[in-house]
Amino acid sequence: MPAPRTVLLTGAAGGLGTLMRSLLPEYGYTLRLFDMRPVEGEPDAITADLGDRQALREAVRGVDAVLHLAGISLEAPFEKILKANIEGTYNLYEAAREEGVPRIVFASSNHAVGFTPAPRAGEPLIPVDTPRRPDTFYGLSKSFGEDLAQLYWDKHGLETVSVRIGSCFPEPTGVRMLSVWMSPADGARLFHAALTAEGVGHTVVHGSSANTRLWWDLTSARALGYEPRDDSEPYAEKLIAEQGELDPENPAHSHLGGHFVNDPPIWPY
């Protein structure tokens, strides 16, 4: 596959989409933007819902790849998750198949496997083939997305890298995040690797920086050419002083998915 140049960025108005709009052009991409909300300062962005199959078909036409970030990004009532994340992701894959788009990079999440116990000191890192253990309807939708990606590779030859993102924010804001944080710059490095690596078929990778307190294995991400450069450790002293060490008896501290394992739905809209 020739290196992709024109990439459809769904979820362009969101937190991660905003970070990637500023970081990915440095890698030479031309971004076409898509979101149900207007993208500030971007009058050419496509404002449409993932439920609009015609808009999606036009949005993917002629692009070399899609970076699919759009969707509900926290726990929410099942009916909302069903529309945005399950049907919406299906609609995107159908549009990509119909228009011959060769690759999608799918924003999966640690919450697809959020009930996986966090490794204690000396235990092995969580492997990428750990059984799915979604911690929410949200995590379940990311499991669906990964299976959908596998189906479209096996049946239609449409490639996907499913990136199980840990926490991608400018800084880690909690003690758990010290283990799963992905700096925005490392996020751009990983997405670039996922967009350009040869012969990925459907590959699942963990998305984190090279954190000292890392919980999961980055081997499959590194195999794409990803070389993380950041580490959350400089934030550790301050966060632990403020919040204390993780308590192994607290389920929200002792599972990969953190508070998602026991929080009620929190999607604000």
Residues 108 and 142: beta-carbon distance below 8 Å: yes
78/138 Cα distance (integer angstroms):
8
**Per-residue mark of binding to ligand NAI, 189-228 (x: CB under 6 A):** ----------------------------------------
- Is 256 a binding residue for ligand NAI by CB under 6 A? The answer is no
| 46-47 and 159-165 beta bridge pairing | unpaired
- Is 111 a binding residue for ligand 15L by CB under 6 A? The answer is yes
Token pair recorded at residue 52: 């609009």
29, 138, 152, 226: which one is catalytic? 138
Site for ligand NAI in 69-128 (CB under 6 A): 69-73, 84, 88, 107, 109
Residues 65 and 104: beta-carbon distance below 8 Å: yes
List the one residue out of 193, 245, 253, 201 whose CA is nearest residue 224: 193
List the one residue out of 94, 23, 83 whose CA is nearest residue 54: 94
Q: Which stretch binds ligand 15L (CB under 6 A): 109-117, 122-130, 214-222, 233-241?
A: 109-117
Total Cβ atoms within 10 A of residue 186 = 23
List the one residue out of 43, 40, 50 whose CA is nearest residue 72: 50
- Is 220 a binding residue for ligand 15L by CB under 6 A? The answer is no
Which does residue 36 touch among ligand 15L, ligand NAI, none (CB within 5 to 8 A, set by kind)?
A: ligand NAI
List the one residue out of 195, 116, 199, 134 whose CA is nearest residue 163: 195
Which does residue 70 touch among ligand NAI, ligand 15L, none (CB within 5 to 8 A, set by kind)?
A: ligand NAI
Q: How far is the CB of 228 from ligand NAI (least distance, A)?
A: 15
Looking at the Cβ atoms of 19 and 200, the one nearer to ligand NAI is 19
Active site residues: 138
Residues that bind ligand NAI (CB under 6 A): 11, 13-17, 35-37, 49-50, 69-73, 84, 88, 107, 109, 165, 167-169
